[in-house]
Amino acid sequence: MSEYKSWFSCIDDECGETYPLDEIIYRCRKCDNLLEVRHDTVALKKKSAQEWRDIFDGRYRRQLWPHGSSVWGKKEWVCPFVEDDNIVSMYEGATNLFWAERFGKQIGMEDIWIKMCGNSHTGSFKDLGMTVLVSVVKQMMSQGKEVPAVACASTGDTSAALAAYCASAEIPAIVFLPKDKVSIAQLVQPISNGALVLSLDTDFDGCMEMVQKVCTENNIYLANSINSLRIEGQKTISIELCQQFDWEVPDWIIIPGGNLGNISALGKGFLIMKDLGLIDKLPRLVCAQAEHANPLYLSYLNNFEEFHPVKAKKTLANAIQIGNPVSVNKAINILKQFDGIVEQASEDELANAAAIVDKTGTFNCPHTGVALGAFLKLKEKGVFDPKDRVVIISTAHGLKFVEFKIGYHKKELEGVCSKYANTPLELPADYDTVRDAIFSKISSN
Ligand SMILES: *Cc1c(COP(=O)(O)O)cnc(C)c1O
Ligand SMILES: [Zn+2]
């Protein structure tokens, strides 16, 4: 047994219900509110801030199981009750914090960074949370609990991560997809990893309803982001960021938001570091939404006084095409504590922002494009000081979204005017023509 305790708690402090982490539960039984994982900070404070920094730094990017994973290297703060033998890990985190020097210079700022969370096992940050969720399931199974399978209703990055971690641990995974509404690229990861892929004759909401019913009535474990174990893994993004800056806190962090679990996780990571004394200030947070799925943005315009779900329209940033985000209450709570801003990006803005930054050597997914587009808009509005240190969270690898890239450069994306399209020159195989074409191009750039 670990000396550090953690448990599920209702997010409503007036309700105050708590539940053990190995119980199959997603909402408070008393008041139906969301749950979150809480830690015994009194016990954690027995170590000094410097001791924790040294522990985390000593484990970072090493091979010692399971601490080489940047999630499990912070195990005492994440999910201490899982035994090391039950951890299902594929070396999460420790992703590149890329200094976007050339892009920064182009816009007159020098301290711009892109945190490449998509450079990971299944190509998105979803691995950070899924390693915790699947490890808890394995722990429950080892204690004799019957869990026939783990299921989710996402089409993209969540189902890819779920399928990979379950495959690695030999736990059956079930993925619910709406028939004819997902691309081959979205299907290929769960199919390859041997998940049971169910293609239902309904839409996403229909799949979500079905997976919840199937899970509650059959003891199948639900992996959608209502499950707050995932937040604990994802909050290590903040801890790792500070670690990479030698425990300095950046001024701003910009992150794309859909179901709003990740912005909540980011804030939670900073709050525990501040509580335990590893940092002494908080950054300002910006949540970036696609204009086609912007309920949080609309609520922000109204000082978060009200929140109304919207009907999300089709967006290139399909992982954040969500009109009724599960974690909205957590996200608003975090944004209020971090003097947060919500900004939106149109299809045109997200695609061109991704493309202009691609030209400086990165390869951005459309969701990262939303964050970059929001950043450029806030820059125009004069929100930043030129000396500010700004971190943009890149949530997935661009290679997962090649249709988006190809469509952009072929100028075939709806609602997008591809300002930076780069199309191949078609030439005859004739030396003089080729040489002239090369020199007319490279001298004009
Ligand atoms: C899931 C996902 C998001 C959104 O995260 P939320 O927690 O739903 O707000 C953003 N980008 C990518 C690539 C994702 O897979
Ligand atoms: Zn409650």
CATH, residue 367? 3.40.50.1100
Q: What is the pLDDT of residue 189?
A: 95
CA–centroid distance, residue 33 to ligand 2 (Å): 5
Average the pLDDT over 28-50 and give the result. 97
- Domain span at residue 257 reads 97-123+231-407
pLDDT at 443: 73
Using the predicted structure, report yes or no on whether residue 186 has a pLDDT greater than 90. Answer: no
| pLDDT of 296 higher than 90 | yes
**Probe ligand 1: pick from 229, 263, 395, 401, max atoms within 8 Å of CB?**
395
Q: What is the pLDDT confidence band of residue 444, given thresholds at 50, 70 and 90?
A: low
Give me ligand 2 centre to Cα 87, in Å.
Answer: 29
pTM over 0.75: yes
Distances (CA, A) of 177 to 56, 98, 207, 218, 374: 39, 34, 6, 19, 30
Looking at residue 445, its pLDDT comes to 52
What distances in angstroms separate CA 219 from CA 130, 144, 209, one per listed residue?
19, 14, 16
Q: Candidates 95, 121, 124: which one to mutate for ligand 1, based on the most atoms within 8 Å of Cβ?
A: 124
- Give distance in angstroms: CA of 32 to centre of ligand 2: 6
Measured in Å, residue 89 CA sits from the centre of ligand 2 at 32
Q: Which of 274, 266, 240, 395 is nearest to 330 (CA)?
A: 266
Residue 182's pLDDT band (cuts 50, 70, 90): confident
Count of the separate structural domains present in the chain: 1
Atom of ligand 1 nearest to the CA of 260: 9
Q: Whose CA is nearest to atom 8 of ligand 1?
A: 259
* Confidence band for 187, pLDDT divided at 50, 70 and 90: confident
Tell me the CA distances in angstroms from 166 to 160, 258, 349, 405, 445, one per residue in order.
10, 24, 37, 30, 49
| Ligand 2 ion local residues (Cβ < 5 A) | 10, 15, 17, 28, 30-31, 33
Give the mean model confidence (pLDDT) for residues 217-242.
95
Query: Which residue, judged by its Cα, is nearest atom 12 of ligand 1?
Result: 395
Largest CA distance in the chain: 79
Which is the closest atom of ligand 1 to the Cα of 157?
15
What residue type is 209 in one-letter code?
Answer: E
Q: Is 105 inside a domain boundary?
A: yes
Residue 217 inside a domain? The answer is no
Question: Tell me: the pLDDT tens digits for 54-71?
Answer: 999 999 999 999 999 999
CA of 20 to the centre of ligand 2 (A): 14
Nearest to 259 by CA among 343, 209, 321: 321
Q: What is the DSSP string of 103-160?
A: HHHHTT-S-EEEEETTSSTTSBTHHHHHHHHHHHHHHHHHTT-----EEE--SSHHHH
Ranges 81-85, 86-90, 130-134, 185-189: which has the least confidence: 185-189
Each residue's pLDDT tens digit, 340-371: 999 999 999 999 999 999 999 999 999 999 99
Torsion angle of C-alpha atoms 355, 243, 268, 326, degrees rounded to 10? 30
User: Atom 1, ligand 1: which residue's CA is nearest?
Assistant: 319
Q: Is 252 a domain residue? A: yes
For ligand 1, pick from 115, 127, 157 the residue to mutate: most ligand atoms within 8 Å of CB.
157
**Distance from C-alpha of 315 to C-alpha of 281, rounded to nearest angstrom:** 36
Ligand nearest to the Cα of 19, by number: 2
Q: Render pLDDT for 327-338 as a digit per residue (tens, 0 to 9).
A: 999 999 999 999
Instruction: Answer yes or no: is 209 within a domain.
Output: no
Please compute the mean of the pLDDT values over residues 16-38 and round it to a whole number: 95
What average pLDDT does the chain have? 95
Confidence at residue 441, expressed as pLDDT on a 0 to 100 scale: 85
User: Could you tell me the sign of the dihedral formed by the alpha carbons of 276, 136, 218, 155, in that order?
Assistant: positive
Residue with CA nearest ligand 1 atom 14: 319
Q: Is residue 8 a contact partner of residue 36, using CB atoms and an 8 Å limit?
A: yes
Residue 262 lies in a domain: yes
Per-residue pLDDT reduced to its tens digit, 299-314: 999 999 999 999 999 9
| Percent over 90 (pLDDT), the chain | 91
Residue 369 belongs to some domain of the structure? yes
Pocket of ligand 1 (CB under 6 A): 124, 126, 156-157, 225, 256-262, 319-320, 365, 367, 395-396
| Distance from Cα 66 to the centre of ligand 2, integer Å | 34
Q: Which atom of ligand 1 is nearest to the CA of 256?
A: 10
Residue 40 in domain: no
- The pLDDT value given to residue 32: 94
What is the Å distance from ligand 1's center to 317 Cα?
A: 9
Cα of 103 vs centre of ligand 1, distance in Å, is: 24
Probe target for ligand 1 pocket from 115, 320, 399, with the most ligand atoms within 8 Å of CB: 320
Going by alpha carbons, the residue nearest to atom 2 of ligand 1 is: 319
By residue count, the chain amounts to 445
pLDDT at 414 over 80: yes
Q: Is 277 left (phi over 0), alpha (psi -120 to 50) or beta?
A: left
Backbone phi and psi for residue 75, each to the nearest 5 degrees, phi listed first = -50, -40
For residue 152, how far is its CA from the centre of ligand 2 (angstroms)?
A: 24
pLDDT at 225: 83
User: What is the distance between the terminal CA atoms of the chain, rounded to a whole angstrom?
Assistant: 63
Ligand 2 centroid–CA 10 distance in Å is 5
Q: What pLDDT digit, counting tens, does each position of 112-167 carry?
A: 999 999 999 999 999 999 999 999 999 999 999 999 999 999 878 999 999 999 99
Q: Which ligand is nearest to the CA of 8?
A: 2
Position 152 in a domain: no
